[in-house]
Amino acid sequence: MNKLSKDLREKLKNISTATIATCLYKRGLRNQFIQNVFPLSHKKGNMVGEAFTLRYIPAREDLNTVSVFKNPKHPQRVAIETCPEGSVLVIDSRKNARAASAGSILVTRLMKRGAAGIVTDGGFRDSEEIANLDFPSYHQKPSAPTNLTLHQALDINVPIGCGDVAVFPGDIIVGDKDGVMVIPFEIIEDVVNECVEMTLFEDFVLEQVNKGESIVGLYPPTNELTLVNYENWKKKL
């Protein structure tokens, strides 16, 4: 499985999903922001990790009774117990929150095993308890707590769709207070390096705007003097 370096992981913790979206857009990737997925709590910093995936399909009643959860090989349970340390469990719940993707016990176990977070385009049961964990968690909305068998877990660590975005195992997942971005692993180093520079430039621009500067010629830097001033500003950091 793809493994994110410690250096890149730390840099991504300080890069916004908005900046990543702009960077990917310039590379022709225009559909990498998972739709209608929101953080349960705004207390945490950026969620960063490799994607480890779980796929649900619509339940067939004769194959998905409550008793299936007793099976130690149940895919949902296996995903919780095998998601690698530092990875983000990303769940394809078919954008359907009527059945829970997971509850507080499973999410707590995932946290204790050292995962970096969890994302579903469905919902969680026990959403208030999950929100109180020190663990990044993203979902569409709370699930109906008794509808456990409307969908069934099928595949682990395969390509999935989550919130209308294709997620491949090993893709890099970054979540902040706005939502969740998916970055192809193959371009991660270039994306991070560009985003670090973009973030620094935007810090400079914001400082100038707060001083009363016009954005014309500043953002984007169509005035040559803007880049000169930016380089001088960086030297003082």
- What pLDDT does residue 144 have? 77
Residue 221 or 42, more confident: 221
Among 70-84, 170-184, 187-201, the minimum mean pLDDT is found in 70-84
pTM beyond cutoff 0.75: yes
* Distance of alpha carbon 232 from alpha carbon 237, whole angstroms: 9
Q: Which helix (H) or strand (E) holds 210?
A: helix 188-210
Give the CA angle between residues 212, 213, 215 to the nearest 5°.
130
* Distance of alpha carbon 205 from alpha carbon 227, whole angstroms: 11
Question: Is the predicted pLDDT of residue 90 greater than 70, yes or no?
Answer: yes
- What pLDDT does residue 179 have? 97
* Distance of alpha carbon 188 from alpha carbon 8, whole angstroms: 8
